[in-house]
Amino acid sequence: MFQFIGCGSAFHTKLGNNSAYLKNGSHLFMIDCGSANFDRILRAQLLVGVDEIAVLVTHLHPDHVGSLGDLLFYSYYSVPPAAQVTATVLTPKKLSHDFRALMKLMGVTDKYYRHVEISGTYRPVGMGDVTRIEPVPVQHSRGLTCFGYLLDVGGKHVYYSGDANMIPTDVLEALKSGELDYMYQDTSKADYAGNVHLSLRQLTEFVPQQVRGRVYCMHLDPPFLPEEAISLGFQVVSPLELANLS
């Protein structure tokens, strides 16, 4: 299923910022592109052979869009043929105005990318195995518009939380019933009142033992121990192998 350019939280840059991807032939589909990730993308040669890039945005914190402008410039000027738009950015309607304004402030105008505004269920064409995208509003940082996503990927039903300190009720019920094949959930070791991320303790309380094998912990903070989550029955995502980043 998804691979990850990085799987760390904002301050766990050793793992790269949390960003999932699928590479299918000449097409690259990504979710977010944080500050620490454009360098990792280049050093891993992830764009070799790619002529179409799609980036789905969850929210506008820098660890999720901080190097997206770099990627869009690079895709325009350095992905053959040069000076041709090869990148599409997808945002929910409620995020679109702020996203475009942020890009414009960085000089990344409409010249450099296509923008697709999603309202309700969106069925992309030409995005590899991704055939359905449905935004799900989630709670994260107060006052910030944030989304998770329900996706159909290669015939599988997937939930990707983005940054969230909760699991929507409908998503949790779909996981329990078997309707959801995989769930990728923002999970932190930090556990305190007002946490903007979901703690491993909370995840354990919410998710029954029998379905934990379909839940993948991501956006890991520095104290997070993968072995602990695995011992509780969860999966833990890994970033691109450092050996590939020479």
pLDDT (0 to 100) of residue 242: 54
Angle CA 64–66–70, to nearest 5: 125
H or E stretch at 70? helix 68-77
pLDDT (0 to 100) of residue 241: 80
- Alpha-carbon span 60 to 139, nearest angstrom: 14
- Alpha-carbon span 16 to 66, nearest angstrom: 12
Please give the DSSP secondary-structure letter assigned to residue 142: T
Phi-psi group of 76: left, alpha or beta (phi > 0 → left; psi -120 to 50 → alpha; rest → beta) = alpha
- Residue for token pair 């995208």: 133
77 CB neighbour count, 10 Å cutoff: 11
Beta bridge partners of 152: 132, 157
- Alpha-carbon span 96 to 22, nearest angstrom: 23
Please give the DSSP secondary-structure letter assigned to residue 239: B
Token reading at 50: 């790619």
- Alpha-carbon span 93 to 113, nearest angstrom: 17
What distances in angstroms separate CA 126 from CA 2, 73, 148, 180, one per listed residue? Answer: 18, 22, 22, 24
Q: How many CA atoms lie within 13 A of 154 on its CB side?
A: 8
- Residue 211 is part of which domain span? 3-244
How many domains are contained in the chain?
A: 1
Hey, what amino acid is at 50?
V
CATH of the domain at 232: 3.60.15.10
pLDDT tens digits, the chain, 246 residues: what are they? 899 999 999 999 999 999 999 999 999 999 999 999 999 999 999 999 999 999 999 999 999 999 999 999 999 999 998 999 999 999 999 999 999 999 999 999 999 999 999 999 999 988 889 999 999 999 999 999 999 999 999 999 999 999 999 999 999 999 999 999 999 999 999 999 999 999 999 999 999 999 999 999 999 999 999 999 999 999 999 999 855 544
41 CB neighbour count, 10 Å cutoff: 25
- Alpha-carbon span 146 to 135, nearest angstrom: 9
**H helix count then E strand count, the chain:** 7, 12
pLDDT (0 to 100) of residue 128: 86
Length of the chain: 246
- Alpha-carbon span 197 to 169, nearest angstrom: 17
